[in-house]
Amino acid sequence: MPTFQNDSLTLAYEMHGEGPPILCIHGFASSGRVNWIETGWVETLTGAGYRVITLDNRGHGASDKPHDPELYYPQLMAGDALALLDHLGFEQAAVMGYSMGARIAAFLAYDHPERLPTAVFGGMGMNLVNGLADSNDIIAGLLAPSLDGLTHPTARQFRIFADHTRSDRQALAACMETSRLPMPRADVRRIEVPVLVAVGEADVMAGRPEELAQLLPHGEAFLIPRRDHMRATGDTKFKEAALAFLGRTFPAVSQT
């Protein structure tokens, strides 16, 4: 995978297709490949005429994995995304994030609205503001010797996912400590770019999409039918809603 440097870290990315660029930022314990390629998002977006850039966040995938929690604040991770756009020479790109990636996208949209014509926040509703109540349980689950005796449902879910993606669990624990920093309500109200907020109907982790969309000056909510946090990622209805939104706010000529 190609790499670039930011904040003394080496970070990995991939690029697919031709057309207007969309930067895709994955969720916690995932990677660009797991979140966007294996779920069919890259195929969907390139087929619609977009150039897709997938980033492996610090602590994940093929990127460097520091164990210092001070290196995982969302503003720093948003800085990685901005540095990638600079590295590739894109003055503007749409941004799509899922879960933690949506939080990163929100901080990027707040700090650098001139770089984002539009954004999609998947798997992140009102908990962008309220935070994640299960963080300490997830950290404990990541650092536990094994799954044996791990009964907290969310912690167990993320531990299984981290093992599946062969992640550095100590890096993930450090990431969980600080990457879930809530965004102040007043800052959400200052995000000027159009945003689609898409959350699974059965997602108990993200918070309601309607509440977050109401705070955003140009927010739209989409409830992904019959999906929880994990199973909403590559959902067909989610893809249809995102393509329709992008077609209105960041159009591309279809290659199909």
Q: Residue 16: inside a domain, yes or no?
A: yes
Is 114 part of any domain?
Answer: yes
Residue 201 included in any domain = yes
* Residue 4 three-state SS: strand
Question: Quick check: is 254 in a domain?
Answer: no
152 falls within a domain: no
Q: For residue 164, tell me if it sits in a domain.
A: no
**In which element (H, E) is residue 44 found?**
helix 41-47
By residue range, what is the domain housing residue 79?
Answer: 3-132+184-249
127 CB contacts (<8 Å, ≥6 apart)?
Answer: 182, 205, 206, 207
Domain assignment present for residue 176? The answer is: no
Domain count, the chain: 1
Residue 187 CA to residue 189 CA, distance in Å, equals: 5
| 121, two tokens | 């926040």
In a domain, 236, yes or no: yes
- CATH assignment of the domain containing 203: 3.40.50.1820
d(CA 96, CA 13) in angstroms, rounded, equals 15
The amino acid that residue 255 corresponds to is Q
Contact 123, 200 (CB under 8 A): yes
Are β-strands 9-16 and 51-55 bridged in parallel, bridged antiparallel, or unpaired? antiparallel
pLDDT (tens digit, 0 to 9) for every residue of the chain, 256 residues total?
Answer: 999 999 999 999 999 999 999 999 999 999 999 999 999 999 999 999 999 999 999 999 999 999 999 999 999 999 999 999 999 999 999 999 999 999 999 999 999 999 999 999 999 999 999 988 788 899 999 999 888 888 888 889 889 999 988 899 999 999 999 999 999 999 999 999 999 999 999 999 999 999 999 999 999 999 999 999 999 999 999 999 999 999 999 999 754 4
